[in-house]
Copies of this chain bind each other. A is one copy, B any other.
């Protein structure tokens, strides 16, 4: 089926979803979860086919592990749907309302987008998560996963569609877009009028392509060249702990710290301890000359290092002479995802927060907290690094639009 035909079907399904009650949506999410558990064997069989193909194609053990499903992982995916059912329904929320001087009643009400396209790589759990969060917010989902997970995704979507149909909602609320060619991505990007918003999740090059070529509105996600700035007034042991956590708690996430800036006044107290901690953790430091002065293990940083999202046991590092210089450095090299300051100074924290133009700014906390789960959103479809519509972790409200409803008694404009 062509993507535009899928888009038309999604649009029809969305018309129903937009007027479906929370009770019906939540019951459907539970039915989807139950079906995943009940039909785990067919899902695992499909997953085995992907894994076999992946081994033949020489995928790395890490990639194969991310792709692999087992009974416990399927149960976890199903549980995530049940948790979504427990979240409040964003649809129908009155965002603002007033009675105008002429007596007109003005209400701005949250409504679903309609059709949401998600383009993603890797793990099959994203298929179910995205389907669930879209449905909870009243949207139909067009899911374009990775070809390496094609069998798993097909099995998962078959199970979900059967469950949705069984619960009395339109199966076309969730559709899988053909992952066997690049053309389907192009068609999604050109489906203006059928798809209301496109969310690319994945590597920097996928996101860049979608942002540049799509005529459908896009929410850009995920690239994070995150900084930790250790201020002159930092508590040194807190700074070491936060930087280490931000870099090493998990290496491959977009909120992992990739660059360390150290105020010159605290460098003597901080850098020896920090560099020792990094050495012990197996992190390679790519430092400027002032950082390198503290350890022979520091590799000389190039300009490119400061702009790199390593997603690995590497970090760039520089000594700066002021908070101003730190802000300027972040403006030049940052990706606007998450930056942290470690400081005991209220003035420094306030200035850093005001002047750093990122989706999230942390004061005395690890960059790793920028996350829908950590923020208490209950579900997350990605982390927006753009300024339009949504910025930072996107939960259910970010998957909605609004509509003005104006009620009068025969009001005419004078």
Where the two chains meet, the residues of A that have a C-beta atom closer than 8 Å to any C-beta of B are 15, 18-19, 98, 100-101, 104, 106, 108, 111, 113-114, 192, 196-197, 211-212, 215, 217-219, 235, 238, 241-242, 245, 249, 331, 349, 353-355, 357-366, 368-370, 374-376, 386-389, 391-393, 401-413
Contact = CB atoms under 8 A, between A and B. Distances in A.
Given A354-B18, A360-B404, A98 B376 contact: yes
Contacts of A387: 113-114, 196-197, 217, 401
A370 B249 contact: no
Given A15-B355, A361-B406, 20 more contacts: A100-B375, A101-B376, A106-B376, A108-B392, A111-B357, A113-B387, A192-B212, A197-B387, A217-B388, A219-B388, A359-B403, A360-B405, A363-B406, A363-B407, A364-B409, A364-B410, A366-B412, A369-B413, A388-B389, A393-B404
Contacts of A407: 349, 362-365
Copies in the complex: 2
A414 to B, nearest CB: 8
Contacts of A402: 391-392
A390 to B, nearest CB: 8
Given A215-B212, A242-B412, A404 B389 contact: no
Contact of A392 (B360, B404, B410): B404
A362 B406 contact: yes
A67 B217 CA distance: 34
Contacts of A410: 235, 238, 241-242, 364-365
Nearest to A99: B376
A-B pairs with lowest CB-CB distance, top 4: A365-B408, A387-B401, A389-B389, A368-B413
A388 B401 contact: yes
A364 B411 contact: yes
B406 A360 contact: yes
A409 B343 CA distance: 10
Residue from A106, A366, A369 with most neighbouring chain B CB atoms (10 Å): A369
Given A360-B403, A405-B363, A369 B19 contact: no
A366 B413 contact: yes
A22 to B, nearest CB: 14
Contacts of A376: 98, 100-101, 106
A160 to B, nearest CB: 25
B369 A406 contact: yes
A410 to B, nearest CB: 4
Residue from A235, A359, A393, A410 with most neighbouring chain B CB atoms (10 Å): A410
12 contacts: A18-B357, A197-B387, A217-B387, A235-B410, A353-B405, A359-B404, A361-B405, A365-B408, A370-B404, A387-B401, A389-B389, A391-B402
A242 B218 CA distance: 38
